[in-house]
Structures are given as C-alpha cells and as structure tokens.
Structure 1
C-alpha cells in the first residue's frame, strides 16, 4: 500500500476523522516534510473537513536553526499552509538528557500553540518504533516501556482550562524507505540535522551502528518488533483497567493512599499500583531500585518516624496513616524577615508571594495591620512558642496545634508567623489565615496582606 493510501485510510477513521484542525509538527526533516506534503496532496485531491496547519519549534541547539525555521516557513508559504513558529529554551539539567529536555519543551509548546480539540500529527515511523523498543529493552523496561511510542494520546493544557490537544502518529506502520521514496518521487528538499550523525547519542548509535546489522540479517525485524510493541500495549491497557479498579479503595485523597491497605499488598502489586497512581498524577515513576525501598524505608518505618524517599524532585512522605507524594522543596531554616514597605515579598523556598495593599475597610479573612504601630516581621520556625487561635479558650505550643489540625510536617516547615512588636498576630498555613485570639483588625488606612501560590498570577 502506498504512503498516500495509508494516510487516506487514517483520515477516514478516528481520531483524525472528526478533527477540525490537523497540525503537522514540522521540523523541516524528511519525515515531517513528507507528512506535510502528503496531507496537503490529499486535501487537493478531494475536499477534506479540516484545516491543515504547521508548527515549527526553534530549539536553538544548532547553528543552522535559523535556516531550518526559514526553510519551513518558505515551504508552508508555497503550499499555502498556515504556519506558526516558536522558540523554546533548553538548558541542561542533571540526570536528564538534552534530547529528552528538548522533546518535553517541544511538546509543551505544541500543546500551547495548537488549536483546542485539534490533532497534532508527528512524523515518527516504523524504524523509529524499532529504535524506541530497543532502547526501552536496554533500560530493562516492562510492558509499558516496551509498548514503545503510542499511536494516539491526548494532552490537557494546564494554562487553558478545558483545552485538550490530541497527538497522533499516522506513519507508525510506514518504513523509512517508503518515506524517502516519496520524498524523491516528489523532488522534496528537506533539512538535515547534523546531530543525527553523532553516535554519542544512544538513538543515533542504534540507527547507524546496530540496526543496519540487524536489518541485514532480519529484513522484517522492524515490522515484527512493531507487532510486539502493539501486543505489549494491549497487555498494558488490560493491566491499567485492573489497576484503575484496584486503586479506587486505596485512595485517601488526590495525592495520598491509605497506608494500612498498601502494606497488605504483595511487592509486585504495590509497585504496579504506585506506578499507576503516579501516572494518574502526571508524575514520572521512580526506578525499580527506588520502589524497592518504599516498603522497608517508608511504609514499615517506626510509628514516630518521618521517613523521606526522594527521586527526581519528588518525595514519598508518610503522615496520618497515609502515603503522600509531594514536590520536593528546600527546608527553610529559622528565618526572620522584616517588611520594608514593599508591595510584594517573595517567600523563601518557593512557597509563594505576599502582596501588601492599602485598605480602607478591614477584612477578617486576611491579615491586616497598621504599619505605624511598629515593624511587621515574618518568622519561619520557632514552633515551640505558645499560640491561642481565635475561638480557642486556651493556648499551647504551635506544634501541638499543628498536630491537632492534621498539618503534615512538610507543610509545617512553610508556615509563616506574622508578628508586630513581638506580638503574634496570627499564622499563614498554605495561604489560609489563622488569627490569634487577641488579634484586632487593622484600622482605616491599614495594610492588608494577600497570599498567592507560585502557580497563581496576580494581575
């Protein structure tokens, strides 16, 4: 079957059939160029109910990046295809490859730029699937990893409520040779990324040094491996259905699981369900070595212990008979900050921001103070001091109130104590205001304090 017929069949089925916009992730390389040209040709041959767009992501990782961007723009102009381009900045980070970071940045930008409910089509093909399978095999992956690349998936845009974008790989059953034959037949010109020749990258090492030997011995290996990947994907789908049902009674909250129930699971089910739970939360699972530490070091730790198991910026923590997964944040040592009249104060440890605004009418829901009465200080730590919350008939150390209120240890570290003239006005716990019993609302022309988390934007 020809490449055009393969695409024609897929345009007649979901998810492409109902897409109002089909967006080609257009790098300028031969794969995405052929995909763009073939989709354009099919629209020319007969009417199609979709808008064809192209998006080029400029990584700036090559000295030729500007030339590739200009090439893509020219090709789209010649085909009368709507073209968008955007720059992304990729910075090296420990324990993460530059290739992986560039891929994540590219997908994030594609989701942001693509129209809502569109399908972003990618140019990966059967030979790419073979490479991905072998890389996952080398890493010791299970069925999920050996499923290799998904054909279709949906991403929800975190910055635009309700927006979702579909991703689809229509060439996954197409060989690289079919793509090259199409390009030569239509006299296409494309960009060659010089980094594709660098065998220091694992994928390039496979492509240039390993796969030619395998394909020479077994010409059908790409097709066979694609079938194995599809079988693994099917098995993983069945396993996910079971995990979904088994996880329901284990959930204590969105980000926590019941500890006693987890401790009753076999090691295999414990690891499987934790991986599935993390995938629901959009968190990359830790390695098998880290998961093996979960039960002995966290679940089975002494009742009065506060164990921490960390990987790639995330932590497993235990509190109140629940297992939590939280974003790792730096521990804030005992600190005292003094307000100097600024409109905003950035709190340490990435907790958030305090905004100070003049107010003509006191608000009981927010801390309000009179700056003329003395310096306002923000204190972290010192939770042994006594505190009488509004409505309580007695005082006791803050740490005892934290225990009574069920405040986890990692949240206690971020509690802000607001003081004026050494008097504790109240405390902020994740932005919630808890005034002291003898706290008096500020007078007219006082200042109100508002809290915003790092994810919030204040206009």
Structure 2
C-alpha cells in the first residue's frame, strides 16, 4: 500500500473516463463509496478533479472489520481523501454471518453487502447521489452468478446504472468500462490502492467466478463482458416492458383497496397472471417468493372453490383470497395484551392503530373508563342508535371485513352497569356520544390506522 498521489490537472485524464463522471444526474451532494480498492480509488480521483471545487463532494468508507488489514485500509482511505481535500465519513459495522444458499462464506459475503448498503441507505439525504465504482466485469459476474443461482428477466438485468437508495439515489458511472481498462488508466496515472486479501479466496462464489471461470470464458470469447452487458441491458428493457404491462393489468383488475379481482385475473394468460402478481408484490416493497411451480400456485389462487382459503406466503407478507379478491397482507407484530386503558390526553399505540381520548371543547364532564380489546366472541353493538343491536361477527361480515383484519380490530369497551358495552370498532364505527362536532359525552375518540 502506497500513496495515491493527487488528482492531476485538467489535461491529464482521458475524456472517455471523465465524461460519465462529469455528466451526472442533478444532486445537492455527491458521495463516493470508497472501499480502498482500485476501482473506487480511481473514481474518487476523477470525481475530485471534476467536482472538488463544488463544495458538495465527500466520500464514505465502510469498515466491515472482517479482514486483517481492515484498519490499515481505513487509514489509507483517510490518507487519500486528505491529499485530495475530500471529506471522508467512516462507518464501522459488525457483520453477522447468516446462512446463505451455499456456504458460510456466502452468508458472510451477503451479510457484509447488506450491512454496507444499510449504511448508505441511512446516510443518504434527499437529492443526494452516491457514486459506486462497479464496472463492466462486475456486471458480467453479477449476471452469471444470478444465472447460476436461477433467476428471471429482472435478475438477468444485472445492476442498474441508477436506482433509488434511502432518501437519495445510487449511480454507477463506470459500468461501461472493463476492469482491465480501468486498471490501465489507474496505473498510467500513478494511482495506488489496497488489495482486499479476500478477493482471492475462492470459497466465495463471486471470487470463484472471477478467478477461475471468467478468465477462461474471456479467452474463448474476448468480447464476453460487452456481450453480457448487452444482454443485461436487453433484459432490463424486457423487465421494464413487463412492468408497464403489469401496471395496465393492475388498473384493470384492482379495486379501490388495491386488491385484485380473481375473476379478472382469471381472464389473463398464465404469464400475465404471474407477471402481475410479482409486480404487485414488489409494489408493496416486498420480494416475490422463489417458487418452482407458479402454475400450481396461480391455479390455487384463481380456481380454488369458494370455501377454500388459498394463500401465497412470502417473507414478511401473505397473499390471501377473500370474497373474490386477492389481498396482500403484511405481517404484523403481535398485539399488546387486551384491556389496555385509553387514558385521556395520551395516545395509545396498539399494533398498527393509534387511539386517543380527547376532551371536546370546554366540556368539564368526567372522563369515561374506556378500554381496548380484541374480539373474544359474542360481542354485540348498536350501529344505529334507534335500531336493534347486532352481532359484531355478523356486522363485520356484512361490511366485508376480511377475517385477518377482524382479528386485529381494536374494540373500544365502556363499563356500564357491570357490563362491557362496545362503543367502537376500529375506524369502522364509533358510538354517537364519542364522535361528531359536539359529542354528548363531552369527549371525542380519535382512531387512526397505519397503512400497509
């Protein structure tokens, strides 16, 4: 590891390398993801030459604390940024090994990536741009790696040039260059960097591809990187077209609650059904499940008899069917214990619900004793003050409330003559004496629910 030198003068750097770093999307602040490796150090130098005078350039180094030279690499990044006059933000993370699809090393690699991107996501503010130094070889390795693991068109699209990240955006200006081309420029400009010792460890799947597979493929097909890059771009275009079609079908199949009509879904071909369901899941910021037999899943969701309750489970959500519609239901944490008191002037957070008991106007009437509970069975309510009472179970069915929502519906109970009277059911109904402009009780109940 040696000094990195400086960013050079305006005439030193090849225009082909400078152009994509000069012509960036508009941003309020420019951050460089600096690992200390060749590609990120080169990107830092180019960005420093082009943008250092703007006062909006900085770098961020994530120290995973996994390699023996991790602290040395951190000091190197400090040195380079100090010489270039670029502020550096250092973030240390603790990486926990998670069991991956392959080996423990694969789990560590994925955990490190997750920790790194979490730092970037937390760091970025609105209108900020994070530059990452991924290049054409990285793209080719990513596409090949995903192909070997099994993926669809979206996965074969590889890494996008730009995408949202946290409150800002991620941008990769070097995807059009190969590793050898960047290394040649870095060497020519006298730039030095730190080699990650783990890059040669072929227990990591990507390193195995990089060290043992890619060189043989390149020897046979010299234009391999550009060919795979072209394939990735074509797959991304195909994925964009599939997304555009899914949006059209969604508008045709969804109701006001964004649930999908089973009847209309059944009128689509299998490929469009699968495309719409996957797009719909992603729309809610979830990951579609890995399923080997989508045809069976779609047949169950669409064609199962009415008395069946087919489901599609994913990580953090379940697709459920109810009364001719499919609903995407996010997993929720357990509700608090029943009979939580509603204390005047204090907001009660109850699962995804927020409830308050507030005085109405200048009323000096004593606060009622109201508690929150879930259904236990047998409850009745009087939605029309002049009408008869109704079974809560039947009333919820009449309202078309799905079973999973009924189970999490907060019931507001008021003690009266030794009994618990239902005076409210979530945001569906409140007794007249606790709502309106001038509630008769002198108190108003406010009920709000977070969206999925």
Aligned residues between the structures: 427
User: 1:331 deviation in Å?
Assistant: 7.1
Q: Which residue of 2 aligns with 1:121?
A: 131
SS across alignment from 1:38: helix
Alignment counterpart, residue 236 of structure 1, candidates 223, 236, 239: 239
Shift of 1:385: 2.1
TM normalised by structure 1 equals 0.78
Q: Distance in 2 between matches of 1:23 and 1:7?
A: 18
Q: Do the aligned residues in 1 keep the contact of 2:162 with 2:172 (CA within 8 Å)?
A: yes
Tell me which residue corresponds to 2:399.
Answer: 405
Deviation at 1:181, TM superposition (A): 2.9
1:370 aligns with 2:376: no
Report 1:156-305 matches (<5 A). 157=167, 165-253=168-256, 255-289=258-292, 291-305=294-308
Q: Distance in 2 between matches of 1:223 and 1:17?
A: 24
Give CA deviations for 1:403-441 in whole Å, capped at 9, x if unaligned: 222222221111122334441343442xx2733478797
User: d(CA) in 1 for partners of 2:354 and 2:383?
Assistant: 24
Shift of 1:280: 3.1
Per the TM alignment, residue 316 of structure 1 is displaced from its structure 2 partner at its CA by 0.6
8 Å Cα contact 2:31/2:129 also seen in 1 = yes
Mind listing any 5+ residue stretches in structure 1 that lack a counterpart? 158-164
Task: Map Cα deviations across residues 28-79 of structure 1 (whole Å, 9 max, x no partner).
Answer: 22221111112223457xx7x6832212234455565554444323322221
Deviates more, 1:243-252 or 1:401-410: 243-252
Contact 2:253 2:264 in 1 (8 A): yes
SS of the residue 1:252 aligns to: coil
Q: Does 1:424 align with 2:429?
A: no
Q: Is the 8 A contact 1:20 1:50 kept in 2?
A: no
Greater shift after overlay, 221-230 or 292-301? 292-301
SS at match of 2:62: strand
> Aligned partners of 2:237, 2:388: CA distance in 1, in Å?
61
Work out whether residues 426 and 433 of structure 1, in 8 Å CA contact, stay in contact via their aligned partners in 2: no
SS in 1 for 2:292: helix
Within the alignment, does 1:53 sit opposite 2:58 as a pair?
yes
* C-alpha contact (below 8 Å) 2:378/2:392 kept by paired residues: yes
SS at match of 1:177: helix
Closer/same/farther in 2, CA of residues 452 and 246 from structure 1, 3 Å limit: closer
Q: Secondary structure at the match of 1:336?
A: coil
SS in 1 for 2:338: strand
Per the alignment, do residues 7 and 19 of structure 1 end up closer, same or farther by CA in structure 2, a change over 3 Å counting? farther
CA offset at residue 82 of structure 1? 2.7
Q: Check 1:293–1:61 CA distance in 2 against 1; reply closer, same or farther (3 A cut).
A: farther
Separation of aligned partners in 2, 1:392 and 1:200? 74
Q: In 1, Cα distance between the equivalents of 2:195 and 2:449?
A: 44
Gaps of 5+ in 2: 1-11, 102-106
Q: 1:140 aligns with which of 125, 150, 154?
A: 150
**Which deviations, in whole Å up to 9, do the C-alpha atoms of 1:96-141 show, x marking residues without a partner?**
8454454344334424433432332111111111111111211332
Distance 1:219 1:308, change over 3 A: same
- The equivalences for 1:323-402 within 5 A come to 323-329=326-332, 336-337=338-339, 339=341, 347=350, 350-351=351-352, 361=360, 369-371=367-369, 377-389=371-383, 391=385, 393-402=387-396
* Superposed displacement of residue 90, structure 1: 5.1
Give the Cα–Cα distance (whole angstroms) in 2 for the partners of residues 363 and 98 of structure 1: 61
Cα-to-partner distance string for 1:238-264 (whole Å, 9 max, x where unaligned): 333333333321222464222211011
Over the aligned positions, Cα root-mean-square deviation in angstroms equals 3.8
Counterpart of 2:61 in 1: which secondary structure? strand
Pairing 1:424-443 to 2, within 5 Å after superposition: 424-429=421-426, 432=427, 434-436=429-431
Say if 1:53 and 1:83, in contact at 8 Å, map to a contact too.
yes
Provide TM-score, normalisation by structure 2: 0.80
- Residue 338 of structure 1 deviates from its aligned partner by 5.0
Separation in structure 1 between the aligned mates of residue 422 and residue 96 of structure 2, nearest angstrom: 43
> C-alpha distance in 1, partners of 2:338/2:28?
56
